[in-house]
Every structure is written in C-alpha cells, then in structure tokens.
C-alpha cells in the first residue's frame, strides 16, 4: 500500500505543479490503534512555485482527494495556509509534523517546522481543541447500548491529550501510547486501555462494544479538569516571526 500511496503523491505533484514537503499518515494508523480495515489518512503540506504567491486573486490553498474506493484519503494544505495555522498552534498540524508514518518529507523543512511549532505552542488553544473533540465523541456514545469501539478510542485519545497538556509543557505526542505513558493515570485504567488496544487491532471498524463504565467515568473526569484549568494555560510566543521561514521555503 505504501508504494501505491507514493505513486499517487508523485502523480499529484505533476498534475498540480506542486512540491510536497511532507506526506504522512494521521488517524488511527498514526495514533497506534488501527483496525485491520482502517483506511489511510494521508496528509500533505506542499508549496507552489514562487510566482503562484504573487497573484492578486485568492487561490485554492488545499487539496482533498480520494482513491481506491475511498480507502486512501489524501488531503493537504499549501504552505502559506499551513504556517498561518501553525501560528495559531493548530493541533492537527502539530500532529502531522510528528507523525511516525512518513511517505515523503524534506527533513530540513520538518526540523524547522517542529522548532517553530515548539516556540508557538499554545497549551490553551491545544487543550480546547482536544476538549472539543472529547466532548463531541462522548456525545455520540450511549453507554447503555452497544457502540463502535473506535468512538470510545476517539474520546479516550482526546481525554488523554488533555491530561498531557495539563501535566506537560511540551506538545502532546501523536502516538497514543506515548501520550498515555506521559500522564498520571490509575494503573487499572491504563491496563484496561491497553487491553482494548489489543482488541481494536484485530476487530474491524464496524465492531460493536459495550460497557466500560470506569473508562467513561475517567473521560468525564478529564473533561471536568480540563474545563476547570484550561483558561490558566500558556498561549505560546506570539512574537515569533514566521515571515522569513515562509520566504525561505518558497524561494528554495
């Protein structure tokens, strides 16, 4: 599958006249708990030639494509859009530049992006991102009925990210178990989460689960704590200037 994805990326570069600076996996495969039939969520950051940025008209700054009967989802942002999001400490972008599954990358670009992200990292905006995801995921589950296990993992992952942000000054990792290892959590809760990861790795996306009251109580506790403390968190170095970084990228 990796070879096929790389072929699609190369075709995309030719068709759109762009250079892909990063192409990586996000979603459950990058988080570390894919189902056997999980799709491929490929996310790219790319640039056009320098003249493209001199136009007076607004131009499309994103790409959204599906391949192989929706098994491969390739979406991405132009570098100018990406840097604007980076300035806001966009959590989705922070995840992309940490992905352990990379299909194509300019190593110097990734190094510079990670450095800039650490300077601009806002614990406040990031926790609000994960808090929103957690509450939305939880609202889609009725604990008194069967539910898709993957929905529980969406809520769990966001809850654990919130706890990481409250307990650490650096950006939360994209790999779920790395985040889990970096927070204070009851050993029985952690043990059960690892057991559920083993289940999810062998069950299809449609697998229905039930119960797990202790985990739902844990998630709700994380939400309460995040809501209580979110406003006191730091917002990052907003004096950091991305202009020179942007110019260097498009001139290179």
CATH number (domain holding residue 105): 3.30.460.10
Do residue 107 and residue 140 come from a single domain? no
Do residue 206 and residue 242 come from a single domain? no
pLDDT the model gives residue 165: 98
- Residue range of the domain that includes 189: 123-232
Asked if 212 and 155 count as a contact pair (C-beta separation under 8 A), the reply is no
pLDDT the model gives residue 99: 97
Do residue 46 and residue 70 come from a single domain? yes
The strand pairing partners of 22, in sequence order, are: 45, 105
**Rounded Cα–Cα distance for residues 183 and 180 (Å):** 6
With helix as H, strand as E and coil as C, how does 108-142 read? HHHHHHHHHHHHHCCHHHHHHHHHHHHHHHHHCCC
pLDDT the model gives residue 241: 86
pLDDT the model gives residue 239: 84
Do residue 108 and residue 131 come from a single domain? no
Do residue 127 and residue 87 come from a single domain? no
Do residue 42 and residue 112 come from a single domain? yes
Stated as kind and residue range, the H or E segment containing 23 is strand 19-26
pLDDT the model gives residue 40: 96
**Tokens coding 180:** 């889990």
Average pLDDT, 10 consecutive residues per value, the chain (252 residues): 93 96 96 95 96 89 93 96 96 96 95 95 97 96 94 97 97 96 97 97 96 97 97 87 92 80
Number of separate domains in the chain:
2
Do residue 95 and residue 148 come from a single domain? no
Q: How far is CA 84 from CA 21, 38, 99, 245, in A?
A: 16, 30, 20, 12
Nearest CA among 231, 220, 207, 5 for reference residue 101: 5
pLDDT the model gives residue 251: 87
Do residue 13 and residue 115 come from a single domain? yes
Do residue 158 and residue 246 come from a single domain? no
What pTM, to 2 d.p., does this model score?
0.93
Q: How far is CA 137 from CA 110, 124, 134, in A?
A: 30, 20, 5
pLDDT the model gives residue 152: 97
pLDDT the model gives residue 243: 92
Do residue 160 and residue 223 come from a single domain? yes
Do residue 190 and residue 105 come from a single domain? no
**Rounded Cα–Cα distance for residues 121 and 119 (Å):** 6
Do residue 90 and residue 167 come from a single domain? no
């Amino acid at each position: 599958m990796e070879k096929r994805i790389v072929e699609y990326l190369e075709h995309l570069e030719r068709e759109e006249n762009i250079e892909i600076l990063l192409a990586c996996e996000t979603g459950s495969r990058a988080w570390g708990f894919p189902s056997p039939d999980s799709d491929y969520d490929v996310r790219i950051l790319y640039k056009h030639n320098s003249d493209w940025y001199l136009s007076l008209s607004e131009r499309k700054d994103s790409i959204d494509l599906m391949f192989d009967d929706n098994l491969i989802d390739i979406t991405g942002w132009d570098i100018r859009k990406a840097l604007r999001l980076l300035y806001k400490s966009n959590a989705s972008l922070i995840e992309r530049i940490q992905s352990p599954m990379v299909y194509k990358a300019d190593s110097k670009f990734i190094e510079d992006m990670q450095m800039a992200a650490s300077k601009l990292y806002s614990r406040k905006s990031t926790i609000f991102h994960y808090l929103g995801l957690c509450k939305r995921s939880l609202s889609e589950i009725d604990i008194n009925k069967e539910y898709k296990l993957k929905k529980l993992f969406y809520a769990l992952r966001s809850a654990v990210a919130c706890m990481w942000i409250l307990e650490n000054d650096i950006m939360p990792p994209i790999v779920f178990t790395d985040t889990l290892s970096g927070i204070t959590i009851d050993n029985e809760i952690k043990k059960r989460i690892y057991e559920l990861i083993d289940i999810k790795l062998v069950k299809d996306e449609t697998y229905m689960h039930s119960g797990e009251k202790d985990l739902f109580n844990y998630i709700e506790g994380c939400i309460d704590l995040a809501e209580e403390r979110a406003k006191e968190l730091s917002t990052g170095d907003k004096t950091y200037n991305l202009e020179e970084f942007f110019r260097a990228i498009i001139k290179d």
